[in-house]
Every structure is written in structure tokens, then in C-alpha cells.
């Protein structure tokens, strides 16, 4: 049962990350012809396309993808309880759990995209399509901080400040939700 539990949780979490990345790429107007963005659209389009016929986009936010990510995070924990041998409990708290899980997933996604951009800045020379994509994704977060804290020499502290803000928000989530933050 632990293997099935891990597999279901991992598949749902990864697909939600892909959906959130799709929303983020549309919000920051990523180059659609980038191979990575083409891949993200191809793996999410079969599920998102029927929803887009029903749910229109809200400005730059793809509301169909956001709703699908929220629904997946909402059903994840009742599904995991069912796999562990418990009964499904459909209560209104599942919506709160789904919302908290979605917010936490957004934080994880931003954290890992920032880490990948930092690592790639050390390794590659900036000529890869992934480099350009990471630059386009993270620049809206780093540019306002860079205006306040300019680079000192060749060292840019804006990525470190974004990661510190994410840590601060994570501790705020722990303070507000206690052990529930760890369980989700």
C-alpha cells in the first residue's frame, strides 16, 4: 500500500506542478515556440482543452488549468485515505486542504525553478532554450528585488532574496496552519 500511496501522490503532485508551470508560462508570456513550452502544452492540452470550452481565461491567468490543479489537490488526500484502507470523507475541509496544498505547490515550484536557474547559470553559457525559459520565468520575480538591491560586482542577490521570502512564507504557513502544513 505504501508503494501505491507514493505513486498516486507523486503522479498527482507532478501533474499539478506541470499545470502550475503552464499557468506561470502563460502569465509571463513565455516564447510559445520554445521546445520546453511546447512539451508542457502537449502534456496538458488533452485535459485542459475540454475545460477551456467551459471555463474562460481570466486575463493572463488560465483559469481552466488553475481549476484542474485545485481539483486534483482537493481529491488527492481523500484518495490517499481510500488507498490506505480508510473511507472517503467528503467534507468542506477538503476544499481548504486543496487550497493550502495548491499554495504550497506554487511555493515549491517557484523554489525549484529558482534553484534550477541558479545552477544553470553556473553550468551553461545561456545559449540553451531552457536557459532562456528559466530567465523568462524568474525575471518577473527577481527584477523588482534587483531594483532595490542592486548587484554587487558580479554577484546578484535577487535570487537569494526570493528564496528567503519563500522560506519566510513557508514558516508563516507553519505558524498559521501548524501540523496541517506538514501533512499537506
CA 21, CA 151: separation in Å to the nearest integer?
A: 28
The whole-angstrom separation of Cα 69 and Cα 177 is: 21
Res 179 pLDDT > 90 = no
Q: What is the pLDDT of residue 115?
A: 93
| pLDDT per residue as tens digits for the range 105-122 | 999 999 999 999 888 888
Answer positive or negative: Cα dihedral of 96, 101, 106, 108.
positive
Q: What is the mean pLDDT of residues 15-36?
A: 91
Domains contained in the chain, number: 1
Per residue in 29-79, pLDDT (tens digit) is 888 888 888 999 899 999 999 998 898 888 888 899 999 999 999 999 888
What DSSP character marks residue 99? H
Predicted confidence (pLDDT) per residue in 71-105, tens digit:
999 999 888 888 887 777 777 888 888 999 999 99
- Residue 126 clears pLDDT 90, i.e. is over it: no
The pLDDT of residue 181: 84
Domain that holds residue 86: 2-183
Q: Half-sphere exposure of 142 toward its Cβ, with a 13 Å CA cutoff?
A: 21
Q: What pLDDT does residue 122 have?
A: 82
**What H or E segment, with its residue span, contains residue 45?**
helix 35-54
Supply the pLDDT for residue 5: 87
CA quadruple 2, 96, 14, 169: dihedral sign: negative
Q: How confident is the model at residue 125 (pLDDT cuts 50, 70, 90)?
A: confident
pTM for the structure as a whole: 0.89
Phi, psi of 61 (to 5 degrees): -95, 130
Q: How far apart are CA 5 and CA 111, in angstroms?
A: 25
CA neighbor of 98 nearest in space, from 6, 22, 180, 175: 180
Cell numbers 484502507 correspond to 85
Residue 10 has pLDDT above 80, yes or no: yes
Distance from C-alpha of 101 to C-alpha of 74, rounded to nearest angstrom: 8
pLDDT of 171 reads: 93
Across the chain, mean pLDDT equals 89
**DSSP string covering 150-165, please?**
--BTTB--HHHHHHHH
Task: Assign 182 a pLDDT band (cuts: 50, 70, 90).
Answer: confident
Amino acid at each position: 500500500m505504501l508503494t501505491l500511496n507514493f505513486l498516486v501522490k507523486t503522479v498527482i503532485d507532478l501533474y499539478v506542478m506541470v499545470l502550475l508551470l503552464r499557468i506561470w508560462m502563460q502569465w509571463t508570456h513565455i516564447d510559445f515556440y520554445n521546445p520546453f513550452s511546447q512539451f508542457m502544452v502537449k502534456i496538458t492540452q488533452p485535459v485542459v482543452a475540454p475545460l477551456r470550452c467551459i471555463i474562460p481565461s481570466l486575463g493572463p491567468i488560465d483559469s481552466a488549468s488553475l481549476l484542474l490543479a485545485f481539483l486534483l489537490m482537493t481529491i488527492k488526500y481523500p484518495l490517499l485515505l481510500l488507498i490506505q484502507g480508510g473511507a472517503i470523507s467528503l467534507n468542506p475541509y477538503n476544499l481548504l486542504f486543496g487550497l493550502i496544498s495548491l499554495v504550497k505547490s506554487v511555493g515549491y515550484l517557484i523554489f525549484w525553478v529558482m534553484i534550477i536557474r541558479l545552477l544553470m547559470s553556473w553550468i551553461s553559457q545561456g545559449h540553451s532554450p531552457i536557459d532562456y525559459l528559466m530567465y523568462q520565468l524568474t525575471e518577473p520575480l527577481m527584477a523588482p528585488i534587483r531594483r532595490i538591491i542592486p548587484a554587487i560586482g558580479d554577484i546578484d542577490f535577487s535570487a537569494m532574496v526570493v528564496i528567503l521570502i519563500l522560506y519566510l512564507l513557508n514558516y508563516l504557513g507553519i505558524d498559521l496552519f501548524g501540523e496541517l502544513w506538514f501533512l499537506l
